[in-house]
Amino acid sequence: MKLAITGVTGYIGRLFAERVIEERVAERVVGIDLAPSNFSENQLRYVQRDVRDPLLARDLAGSDTVVHFAFVVETMRDRRLMYDVNVKGTRNVLEACERNGVKTLIVASSIAAYGVQRDHVITETTPCLGDSRSFYGHTKRLVEDELDLFAARNPAVRLVRVRPSVVLGPRCNTWALGAMAELGRFDTRRGMRLPVVHEDDVVEAFFRALTRPVSGPLLVAHRESLSMRDVAPLLGRKPTILPARVLLGLSDFAFSRGLTRMSSDWLALTVENTHRYDPSATEAKLDHRLKHSQLDALKAALENGARLRAAGVTFDAKTDRLEGTRYVLDAAEGQP
């Protein structure tokens, strides 16, 4: 296998690359990202490149397998840029794969692509609706559309879409740590639900998707999600109950003034969904069930956040994503 990984210095991209290197399942690994790499030259060949760059096709030359992790997950104040990276960047990756005759493509999608499904139990075949209130979910749904078109043009390519819920764990160093400052402070009368999955379970899913002859969508999520009542005791808080509309409005107000990293972009999905999932098909395809509980994932992330704070890392809303300064967050608000 000759493998290329985009977003290789990001949270899950790096963990996945480490697993691939450790297991020695690829004879060649090319890692692509914007942030500087601390992989050694004998681990992989690193290329510092934006996924929107047309020269990406040159970087993928000779690769038969591509795993695409390069996405912006945190809500950006410049939505035009977020759209450009997530949607146009993916389109560029797909075109580069076509040009180089890639045989296997694995893409990091998200449960956010499903949008608002309210009380429905979500499976791998549930339509990806996205939602206008969640810009990240909107871009992920558009990515799914791009993958549909790619699949129609390239039926011989083994295409896998991995849709995990919110990834947390002992090496979490993403925007989520900053957003956790608000976790458990508020709830709604209906009760917000938080779908969490441990980073090791997500990496295992991607690794099995890489090394097994599977295709189609994979759902990496627990059947039930955490409630704020589950979360609050870990933080020593009792949630203040607010109407959903008020909570979403307060979130956007605070986000617009740089007071929080959590806009209504993610809250809209949390408020409107019960986040119930049935990943039976994924479990059968991968011959694997999730090993870590959601509370274990949350506790591990909180402990890592405390360690980072002790080391002087700040999580205020005006800093860029903790996984690397790749894009400017304080650009003017825009629309795609």
Residue 239: CB atoms within 10 A of its CB come to 19
Asked if 95 and 57 count as a contact pair (C-beta separation under 8 A), the reply is yes
Sequence-distant (≥ 6) Cβ neighbours of residue 71 within 8 angstroms? 7, 85, 86, 89, 90, 108, 143
Task: Determine the average pLDDT of the residues in 266-286.
Answer: 93
Cα 207 to Cα 32: distance, rounded to the nearest angstrom: 18
- 336 or 108, higher pLDDT: 108
User: Is 136 labeled as catalytic in the residue annotation?
Assistant: yes
Q: How far is CA 96 from CA 4, 16, 90, 107, 206, in A?
A: 12, 21, 10, 14, 21
Asked if 103 and 155 count as a contact pair (C-beta separation under 8 A), the reply is no
Cα 240 to Cα 186: distance, rounded to the nearest angstrom: 5
Task: Determine the average pLDDT of the residues in 276-280.
Answer: 97
All structural domains of the chain with their residue ranges: 2-310
Q: How far is CA 4 from CA 30, 122, 154, in A?
A: 5, 31, 19
Task: Say which DSSP state 201 is in.
Answer: H
Catalytic-labelled residue, pool 46, 136, 277, 327: 136
Cα 180 to Cα 308: distance, rounded to the nearest angstrom: 14
Residues 137-194: pLDDT tens digits?
999 999 999 999 999 999 999 999 999 999 999 998 777 777 777 788 899 988 999 9
Cα 115 to Cα 6: distance, rounded to the nearest angstrom: 25
DSSP per-residue codes, 217-238: EEEE--SS-EEHHHHHHHHT--
Question: Which tokens in the block code for residue 218?
Answer: 């994979």
Residues 12-33: pLDDT tens digits?
999 999 999 999 999 999 999 9
Asked if 272 and 119 count as a contact pair (C-beta separation under 8 A), the reply is no
Whether 310 shows a pLDDT value over 80: the answer reads yes
Asked if 266 and 75 count as a contact pair (C-beta separation under 8 A), the reply is yes
The 3 state secondary structure assigned to 110-141 is CHHHHCCCCCCEECCCCCCCCCCCCHHHHHHH
Q: How far is CA 228 from CA 11, 101, 199, in A?
A: 25, 47, 21
pTM above 0.75, yes or no: yes
- 103 or 71, higher pLDDT: 103
Cα 225 to Cα 277: distance, rounded to the nearest angstrom: 9
Mean pLDDT of the chain: 88
The enclosing H or E element of 86 equals none
Q: In the CATH scheme, what is the homologous superfamily, with its name and number, of domain 2-310?
A: NAD(P)-binding Rossmann-like Domain (3.40.50.720)
Phi, psi of 28 (to 5 degrees): -150, 135
Asked if 130 and 111 count as a contact pair (C-beta separation under 8 A), the reply is no
Whether 231 shows a pLDDT value over 80: the answer reads yes
pLDDT of 77 reads 65
